[in-house]
A and B are shown apart, each in its own frame.
Chain A
């Protein structure tokens, strides 16, 4: 087995060419798009489970001292 090593080099942004800056920006944009898609997928899962009435088990309970907390909610209305 050949062990692969990764070396990270820090380069000042000001030293990059315009093309390199554009490529860097595009790369970050692709990562942002991927994260946005993952977030949307998670939101769909959360919405489906909330719609089914699921709540965190410890969101509301009566403590031994008689206190209790009711969780807040995000209630959405869509303009789209």
Chain B
């Protein structure tokens, strides 16, 4: 599988239910056992095989999200911010971004998945997740 944007995220964005400028977002890590489904997966409770280990808290970390209009290239770039897990011992393959409502996982809308392509492993070290970009090309 590869990185993707969940279809529901685009729908909710179009309907105004997701505001990438003002809403709160988080990113969680999963192992390679999680198989994303851009159609069927729409809320956080659809995500399986979240990583566990020292230095990682279920649900992941908060991230900064921002929107940039690029008229020169006819596109909108939504920056999905990076984050770090310090003093961690974890093995992760994917990062799943979602809108964090602060309550039940069944209410948190999924946004996108970044598949690293191979496992990323820390051993009592800092896991750094670099920022990704969600690009809407016109």
**Could you say which of B115, B120, B125, B137 contacts A73, with CB atoms under 8 Å apart?**
B115
Interface status of B132 (Cβ within 8 A of chain A) = yes
Residues in chain B near residue A65, CB distance under 8 A: 125
Nearest-Cβ distance from residue A53 to partner chain B, whole angstroms? 6
Residues in chain B near residue A67, CB distance under 8 A: 122, 125-128
Q: B134, A75: Cβ atoms under 8 Å?
A: yes
Q: A66, B123: Cβ atoms under 8 Å?
A: yes
**Could you say which of A59, A63, A75 contacts B133, with CB atoms under 8 Å apart?**
A75
Shortest Cβ distance from B97 into A: residue: A75
Nearest-Cβ distance from residue B76 to partner chain A, whole angstroms? 9
> What's the count of A-B pairs with C-beta under 8 Å?
98
Q: A55, B2: Cβ atoms under 8 Å?
A: no
Nearest-Cβ distance from residue B109 to partner chain A, whole angstroms? 16
Interface status of A68 (Cβ within 8 A of chain B) = yes
Distance, CA A57 to CA B119, complexed state (A): 12
Q: B114, A75: Cβ atoms under 8 Å?
A: yes
Given known A-B contacts A55-B117, A66-B122, A70-B92, A75 and B5 have beta carbons under 8 A apart: yes
Distance, CA A61 to CA B23, complexed state (A): 32
Distance, CA A51 to CA B101, complexed state (A): 32
Residues in chain A near residue B126, CB distance under 8 A: 67-68
Interface size class of A (residues with CB under 8 A): 20 to 34
A residues neighboring B (CB under 8 Å)? 50-51, 53-55, 59-63, 65-80
Additional 11 contacts, C-beta under 8 A, given A62-B122, A75-B5: A60-B120, A67-B127, A68-B125, A68-B128, A69-B120, A70-B129, A72-B130, A73-B133, A74-B132, A76-B137, A78-B137
Q: Top 9 A-B pairs ranked by shortest CB distance?
A: A66-B125, A55-B117, A67-B125, A72-B130, A66-B123, A72-B132, A73-B3, A60-B120, A69-B128
Please name 19 pairs of A and B residues whose Cβ atoms are closer than 8 Å in the assembled complex, sorted by A. A50-B2, A51-B2, A63-B125, A66-B123, A66-B124, A66-B125, A67-B125, A67-B127, A67-B128, A68-B121, A68-B122, A69-B127, A72-B80, A75-B4, A75-B134, A77-B5, A77-B135, A79-B138, A80-B138
